[in-house]
Amino acid sequence: MAKRNAYGQNLQERAPDPYCKAFVHQLVRSLSPYEIGVEKSAQTTSSSSSGSAQSSSMTSIPSYQMLNYSLPVKLDRTNYILWRSQIDNVIFANGFEDFIDGTSVCPEKELRPGEINPAFVAWRRQDRTILSWIYSSLTPGIMAQIIGHNSSHSAWNALEKIFSSCSRARIMQLRLEFQSTKKGSMSMIDYIMKVKGAADSLAAIGRTCF
């Protein structure tokens, strides 16, 4: 199944925005060798440290808790696009998209009167695992808005409805940020990171910079 973003677009069918890539590439080339070396050195050290810590911790973390560690960003009122991009990847990588989009249907509870269907128990346990993953990636204020939804599909749809209008506004904000950001007093690295951040956030949901 092709991965889709919050707007139902097939992300695999959308080519990257060539203008965004060319613009960011040109900015990177303008950095001095010293600046590039410092930036890469810092990133390498940070990645090495975080990678070792994550590898060590995940070996002792039950699978139902792993999503919280894979998603450092918890959903609040301002970061739905970023949160959605991350959680989409984790759910798709684990093969649980059928639960989220509703194509995986819960089996009958009983095989016959008084006899519980093992397939029902297994399905419900897996769905509640995914639901707990979603809850673990929310801030308390957002979690309070979807309490009462007892399936991952229902909770997912509730979040989409809450944030659909916010997402459209956020896309406009990111495009404005990309198009209007000036270097000013920022260092070249800070300027590039800000422009690239806006471009990457748009690319993550299959949107162009213009």
Q: What is the pTM assigned to this prediction? A: 0.53
Query: Which tens digits make up the pLDDT trace of 139-148?
Result: 999 999 999 9
* Alpha carbon distance 170, 178 (integer Å): 12
Please state the length of the chain: 210
pLDDT band for position 51 (50/70/90)? very low
User: Domain coordinates of the chain in residue numbers?
Assistant: 16-204
8 Å CB contact between 51 and 114: no
